[in-house]
Amino acid sequence: MAKSNQDRKLKHLFDGGDWNVYQPNILNLGVGAPGTDLLSSNCDSFRKATDHCLEREKRDNQSLIFQYGPTSGTFEVRREISTYFTEMFESPVNCEDLMITTGATQGLHLLLSTMIDLQGFVFVDEYSYMIALDSIKHFNSLTIVPVKLNDDGVDLNDLEEQVSKRRFSSEKKEFWGMYYTIPTYHNPTGILFSPEVCRGIVQLARKFDFLVVCDDVYNILHYGEKPTHSRLMSYDDRKDADFAGHVISNGSFSKILGPGVRLGWLEVPARLKPILDGCGFANSGGCFNNYTSGIVESLFELKLAQKQIAVFYEAYKERMLATTQVLRDELPQCCKLVSPTGGYFIWVRIPDCLDSREFLKYCLEHQKIYFIAGPRFSVDGQSGKQFFRLSIAFYPKEKLVDGARRLCQTLKDYIVTQKIPQGVS
Ligand SMILES: Cc1ncc(COP(=O)(O)O)c(C=O)c1O
């Protein structure tokens, strides 16, 4: 088929390749997005919100939703976001600190292009969101530095060592360096950074004057007790004597309303906000997504967004608990997982002598089950062969449970072919 025809056929990100998620005999556990069953109720709620929004525009607002918007987005949509997330986070999200984006992907790109010296450094966790790494690599004058990751978050000693030997004084941008992370239900490892680690990161950021960018796209998806902190940013406390504002929270509706909505927000300390508000990239387009943000404002005003988010949350929770139960019961003893307490991802460790890329090939051949092998999440594309990542977001519980069982059995079979005694780790 000609390339142009192939492109015309595509309707979403996951139907192009051999591992099309909509083929009934394939289980693609790589997909970090809500599935069709969750998205299906959006048509009705977005139709109602669109009617509500456009009525308001016609009646009260001279149809200005179709105009370039205010650079940060309208006050009204930012107020809806701040009200909802203040309640969810149990910590204030200030309306004036918010800037509307088209999602966390764009948020990160905007920060890379405005905040950091392009001869500078980006510190990342040794395993990190693979497409964020691709985005950072695109700025090819930046140096990416991986930092060791422990079960409770980044290794503070390693972060300090890496940062201290690279610090320089930038004359061109506000920051010489950035630490990019996902501290709440990390992608790919699923971990939640502990309060001590969050506090330590903020102390280092203040001491060495680097920016911390947190992808906070999974924060409200907690499946056990509510964590003691909702986001790392709350540790950068304005009441502290040495507060300056070193943390930015990068939020998104992709995982809780739908990725196709393409709406997110940055929460930015007051001293840094003018840098974004004044940049050409933001100014030229007005608000990055004025029309959609007006619809989402109505979705919140009509309480439809809150309802939809609750439906997504319950489904994810059920999926995560059921899948991790199977893995805990049925994974070979030589493998390990830390059951995540929130988010989308389960990070499985296999014996060091195995290679998850080879196991993936075996799994595809024998069970048509796909997952993402660890090296995809490392800066060099090679480290992490002893890990793989599973996502619980896309399929209903029954499919996940069946898939997890088959995956465990296939792993046992694979280990036998590799002649590794099951006691080995
Ligand atoms: C950590 C992280 N950041 C960003 C994104 C993409 O977010 P958005 O759709 O808001 O651009 C994802 C999606 O998988 C993610 O896991």
Q: How far is ligand 1, taken at its centre, from the CA of residue 345, in Å? A: 13
289's CB contacts (< 8 A; 6+ apart) are 73, 100, 101, 102, 262, 263
Please choose, from the candidates 395, 315, 391, 412, the residue with its C-alpha nearest in 3D space to the C-alpha of residue 346. 391
pLDDT exceeds 50 at position 2: no
The minimum-distance atom of ligand 1 relative to the CA of 107 is 11
Q: How far is ligand 1, taken at its centre, from the CA of residue 418, in Å? A: 36
Calpha distance 116→4 (Å, rounded): 38
Probe residue for ligand 1, chosen from 81, 128, 232, 252 as the CB with the greatest number of ligand atoms within 8 Å: 252
Percent of the chain whose predicted confidence (pLDDT) is above 90:
89
Q: What's the whole-model pTM score?
A: 0.95
pLDDT confidence tier of residue 419, bands split at 50, 70 and 90: confident
CB 151 within 8 A of CB 306: no
55's CB contacts (< 8 A; 6+ apart) are none
Probe residue for ligand 1, chosen from 108, 127, 253, 254 as the CB with the greatest number of ligand atoms within 8 Å: 254
Q: How far is ligand 1, taken at its centre, from the CA of residue 106, in Å? A: 9
Give me the DSSP letters along 191-248: -B--HHHHHHHHHHHHHHT-EEEEE-SSTT-B-SSPPS-S-GGGGS-TTSTT----EE
Give me the DSSP letters along 263-312: -EEEE--TTTHHHHHTSHHHHHTSSTTHHHHHHHHHHHHTTHHHHHHHHH
**Beta-carbon neighbour count of residue 333 at 10 Å?**
10
Residue type at position 55: E
pLDDT exceeds 80 at position 345: yes
How does pLDDT run across 55-80, given as a tens digit for each residue?
999 999 999 999 999 999 999 999 99
How does pLDDT run across 132-160, given as a tens digit for each residue?
999 999 999 999 999 999 999 999 999 99
Residue type at position 183: P
Given this model, what pLDDT does residue 16 score? 59
The minimum-distance atom of ligand 1 relative to the CA of 101 is 10
| DSSP-assigned beta bridge partners for residue 143 | 121
Q: How far is ligand 1, taken at its centre, from the CA of residue 269, in Å? A: 22
**Beta-carbon neighbour count of residue 207 at 10 Å?**
14
pLDDT confidence tier of residue 6, bands split at 50, 70 and 90: low
> How far is C-alpha 282 from the geometric centre of its chain's CA atoms?
22
Residue nearest to atom 4 of ligand 1 (CA): 104
| DSSP-assigned beta bridge partners for residue 122 | 144, 178
Give me the DSSP letters along 322-352: HHHHHHHHHS-TT-EEPPPSBSSEEEEE--T
Calpha distance 350→356 (Å, rounded): 8
Q: How far is ligand 1, taken at its centre, from the CA of residue 214, in Å? A: 11
Residues within a 6 A CB radius of ligand 1: 32, 103-105, 129, 132, 182, 187, 215, 217, 252, 254, 259, 264
Q: How far is ligand 1, taken at its centre, from the CA of residue 250, in Å? A: 9
Domains of the chain: 3-30+306-417 (3.90.1150.10), 51-304 (3.40.640.10)
Residue nearest to atom 14 of ligand 1 (CA): 32
Give the tokens for residue 182: 């996902």
Residue nearest to atom 13 of ligand 1 (CA): 32
Q: How far is ligand 1, taken at its centre, from the CA of residue 15, in Å? A: 19
What does pLDDT average to over the chain? 94
Calpha distance 24→22 (Å, rounded): 6
H/E run at residue 144 = strand 143-147
User: Of 20-34, 310-324, 411-425, where does the model show the most confidence?
Assistant: 310-324
